Amino acid sequence: MPAQNDSSIESKIDNILSQLTIEEKVAMCHAQSKFSSPGVARLGIPELWMSDGPHGVRGEINWDDWGYAGWTNDYATAFPALTCLAATFNPDLSKEYGNAVSEEALYREKDVLLGPGVNIYRTPLNGRNFEYMGEDPYLASKMVVPYIHGVQQNGVAACLKHYVLNNQEVWRNKVNVKISDRALYEIYMPAFKAGVQEGKVWSIMGAYNKFEGQYCCHNERLLNKILKEDWAFDGAVITDWGGATNTKEAALYGLDLEMGSHSDGLTVSAKYAYDYYYLANPYLEMLKSGEVPISTLDNKVRRILRLMFRTTMNPNRGFGVMNNQEHLDVARKIGGEGIVLLKNEGNFFPIDPVKNITIAIIGENATKQLTPGGGSSELKAKDEVSPLRGIKERFKNAEIIHAMGYNSGPPQYGKVIPPKLDNDSLKTAAISAAKQADLVLFIGGLNKNHYQDCEGGDRLDYGLPFGQDELLDEVVKANPNTGVILISGNAVEMPWLGKIKGLMQAWFLGSQSGHAIADVISGEVNPSGKLPFTFPVKLEDNAAHYYGEISYPGIDYEQEYKEDILVGYRWHDTKKIKPQFAFGHGLSYTEFQLFNLEINSNKFEKGQAITLSCSVQNTGQRPGAEVIQVYVGKNKSKVPRALKELKGFKKIFLEPGATENVEIAFNTNDLAFYDESISDWSLEEGSYTVYVGNASDNVSRTFKIRIK
């Protein structure tokens, strides 16, 4: 799509600002419905329409409440969750994802897609982890930029969220986060910074929580200082829905557009109608009285108009497409490439799809619709292929026996609805099915019910819900030839891991879920996904939980990130706590060998490029892909450091027997730490160790280098 000239846009904005009344300007700074803000009809300025994302375009919501409008033409393609996208370690695929989802947004005449999310995976209890890109800031940064480019190339704005430290759902509207500047800048900020400076994102959504005692949706330091001054963000800051809490702070501290603030939207006289938002009549009164300067208003409207010129007022914008085969193909490809093979004892996987065998498919997630539910990312998929359906269509020669095994009840935002079916009877039927089969595929995990992978409430414990751990024990006793397909956006406890033959992490895969899973189970697709976060053995092994209640979820709405920079594998490596499965881990149906590992020097200066090279050979019998990962650690640092940190990766696809040379480069400046004594980045001189391998816990070779 041809871009508009920036100087031309700014000139047009100046002209419009001169014609707008103060009342019209204020009206543009707040919602007029659940998902739109007003334009100015007399000047031909259109409304601005938004849609929840980032996994697809949400079904149409009523004007004034959260009910669905009941349209029959708002079915969408459901794409895999962003955890799955992150697990692909494939930035090219991320751009395909962004392009496809924005084409659907464009078809639905949406101007702002509310995503992607890049909050860091801090605890496996967070209900919204499935919407994010894992625990590592480098991985999230590299994956989010092409997603943004893919979305915005079609004239739809990405809305990067939730800025920042929105890392739990419990108390999300109240908790005040205390964190060191080092952890803020090194762990929780980089993906947002990359989205702004490299992705050139057009809008950002503030977070619900507080930082330094001030709500993130109007936070002087986060928005005015860091985002708009230091990072030179020129887009619009949008609240999370209901994220504004104070008119004067909203006026002064960086918020541009207020959405969702407890309005029933029925009449102007209603207590919480749209004209009584914080940035509505109360703001207008402050402006007229001189309590806040008019310059704050002009800056907000300028940013909103800039967003409009890039989207709804862009004459070069196309029309989009919806639910086409190309989008389904993208969803299926991402799903297949993101599935992670965690365990494969005795080559349990792949399963030959032409064999005449009996397969017992056990577990509610084999048939449960998983595109609805989960909160704001729920989708109205035109067709969701269940795992059971996908396996049946692929394994045509097999006899497929299905047993539900357990029942979780229907998904409902904000509350748990008890299941109607008797779980004891379901368990008995499952055990009977297991005894009749040659092999068992247990398809369980979490779902998008409240207190599972769902907005508005964190998980209550680390184990599998609905009695699955006990059920799985009984199933394995009945048939030891059992593999597990874990569908979730989070790590789970695995007391049964030593008893099963195979394990796949399959995520929430959207419309093509069943086909993507069947592709990998059958071997048509060789698994190449890598874990974007660590699976601890037990919850207390996770850094956020190690320090007790003050660290998670907080005490009296006050919380301290006591683990500091040691998030995920940084914690496990540094504290020598063995994980269940490490960050970056993922098996294949073929074998890869790394050799000829070299580094371009062993002495470097500040600002110099470090280049790792190696040869990768597929020594097995199947085409496949490997992810080469490069980590770096500082030896004898003057500040506490993680043992190592991801600084580069490369995914490479190889035919059997093929060899390819790979180079991974980064700059010595990428090894700097955030020095709180100078409030800036500092690169230490001295000795570093470079680690090269295919997982954070599987290093093929190390190099010692010096920086002077």
Looking at residue 273, what is its pLDDT? 85
Distance CA 292, CA 288 (A): 8
Kindly report the backbone phi and psi dihedral angles of residue 623, in degrees, each rounded to the nearest multiple of 5, phi listed first.
-60, 145
Q: Does residue 317 belong to any structural domain of this protein? A: no
Decide if 65 is inside a domain.
no
Q: Rounded to whole angstroms, how far apart are CA atoms 296 and 427?
A: 62
Q: Which amino acid is at 339?
A: I
One-character DSSP codes across 158-226? EEEEEETT---STTTTT-EEE--HHHIIIIISHHHHHHHHTT--SEEEEPSSEETTEEGGG-IIIIIII
- Inform me whether the pLDDT recorded for 2 exceeds 60: no
List the one residue out of 449, 474, 444 whose CA is nearest residue 459.
449
Are 487 and 446 in the same domain? Answer: yes
Closest CA to 246 of 204, 211, 216: 216
pLDDT > 70: percent of the chain: 98
- Whether residues 515 and 564 fall in one domain: no
DSSP β-bridge partners for residue 680: 675
Q: For position 32, what pLDDT does the model report?
A: 96
Residue 260: predicted pLDDT = 93
From 213, 187, 165, 142, select the one nearest 674 (Cα to Cα): 187
Residue from 131, 135, 155, 149 nearest 53 by CA: 131
Tokens 């370690």 map to which residue?
Answer: 89
Averaged pLDDT, 511-528: 98
Give the tens place of pLDDT for each residue, 215-236.
999 999 999 999 999 999 999 9
In the chain, pLDDT over 90 holds for what percent of residues?
A: 95
Q: Is residue 204 part of a domain?
A: yes
| Residue at 137: amino acid letter | P
195, 162 in Cβ contact below 8 A? no
Of 284, 310, 336, the residue that ends a domain is 310
Question: Considering 495, 513, 531, which residue would you say is the last residue of a domain?
Answer: 531
Domain that holds residue 145: 6-60+78-310
Task: Read off the CATH number of the domain in which 112 is found.
Answer: 3.20.20.300
Asked if 408 contacts 466 with a C-beta cutoff of 8 angstroms, the reply is yes
Closest to 205 measured CA to CA, from 149, 169, 158, 268: 158
**Quick one: which of 491, 29, 594 has its CA closest to 304?**
29
Residue 471 has a pLDDT of 98
- Contact call for residues 532 and 351 (beta carbons, < 8 A): no
- Higher-scoring residue by pLDDT: 5, 704: 704
In a domain, 315, yes or no: no
Confidence of residue 7 (pLDDT cuts 50, 70, 90): confident
585 and 609 co-located in one domain? no
pLDDT mean over 344-349: 98
CA distance 373 to 412: 7
How far is 543 from 635, CA to CA, in rounded Å? 22
Q: Which parts of 209-355 fold into alpha helices (H)?
A: 247-252, 281-289, 294-310, 325-338
Q: Regarding predicted confidence, which is higher, 65 or 310? A: 310
In a domain, 318, yes or no: no
Q: Residues 565, 511: one domain?
A: no
Does 539 share its domain with 450? no
Burial of 71 (C-beta count, 10 Å sphere; 0-12/13-18/19+): exposed
Taking each continuous run of H as one helix and of E as one strand, the counts in the chain are 17, 26
Would you place residue 590 in the very low, low, confident or very high pLDDT band (cuts 50, 70, 90)?
Answer: very high
d(CA 647, CA 603): 18
Specify if 363 maps to a domain.
Answer: yes
Question: Per-residue pLDDT tens for 249-281?
Answer: 999 999 999 999 986 656 556 667 899 999 999
Q: Which residues contact 390 (CB under 8 A, 6 or more apart)?
A: 513, 514, 515, 516, 517, 518
Residues 386 and 259 in one domain: no
CA atoms of 16 and 3, how far apart (whole Å):
20
CB 624 within 8 A of CB 589: yes
**33 with 178, same domain?**
yes
Instruction: Assess whether 578 and 502 both reside in one domain.
Output: no
Q: Which residue has the tokens 């009809």?
A: 41
430 and 403 both lie in a single domain: yes
Give the mean pLDDT of the chain. 96
Domain CATH code at residue 677? 2.60.40.10
290 in the same domain as 176: yes
SS3 404: coil
Chain-centre distance of CA 52, in angstroms?
A: 14
pLDDT at 267: 58
**Predicted pLDDT at 1:** 64
210-211 β-sheet, strand order: 214-215, 210-211, 176-178, 558-560
| Spatial contact of 63 and 48, defined as CB atoms under 8 Å apart | no
Task: Give the count of domains, the chain.
Answer: 4
Instruction: Find the CATH number of the domain harbouring 418.
Output: 3.40.50.1700
CA dist 344 and 589 (Å) reads: 9
In a domain, 355, yes or no: yes
Average pLDDT on 361-376 reads 95
Residue 450 predicted with pLDDT over 70:
yes
**Digit-coded pLDDT (tens) for 278-299:** 999 999 999 999 999 999 999 9
Helix (H, G, I), strand (E, B) or coil at 390: helix
347 assigned to some structural domain: yes
Question: 64-75: per-residue pLDDT in tens?
Answer: 888 999 999 999
pLDDT of residue 322: 95
pLDDT 10s digits, 63-110 = 988 899 999 999 999 999 999 999 999 999 999 999 999 999 999 999
DSSP 702: E
The CA distance from 146 to 53, in Å, is: 16
Same domain, 564 and 481: no
Cα-Cα-Cα-Cα torsion 482, 487, 491, 496, nearest 10 degrees, comes to -20
Q: Is residue 690 domain-shared with residue 604, that is, in the same domain?
A: yes
At residue 707, does pLDDT exceed 70? yes
Asked if residues 437 and 458 have their Cβ atoms less than 8 Å apart, the reply is no
Measured CA to CA, the distance from residue 570 to residue 643 in angstroms comes to 7
Catalytic residues, by residue number, are 240
Q: Which helix (H) or strand (E) holds 665?
A: strand 659-667
Helix (H, G, I), strand (E, B) or coil at 258: strand
pLDDT for 270: 65
pLDDT at 3 over 80: no
Residue that terminates a domain, selected from 310, 341, 369: 310
Report the distance separating Cα 446 and Cα 451, nearest Å: 10
pLDDT for position 269? 61
Mean pLDDT, range 134-153, rounded to an integer: 98
382-414 tens-digit pLDDT: 999 999 999 999 999 999 999 999 999 998 888
The pLDDT of 488-493, averaged and rounded, is: 98
Q: What is the DSSP string of 337-376?
A: HH-EEEEEGGG-PSPPTTS--EEEEESGGGT---SS-SST
Helix (H) or strand (E) holding 559: strand 558-560
Question: What is residue 262's predicted lDDT score, i.e. its pLDDT?
Answer: 80
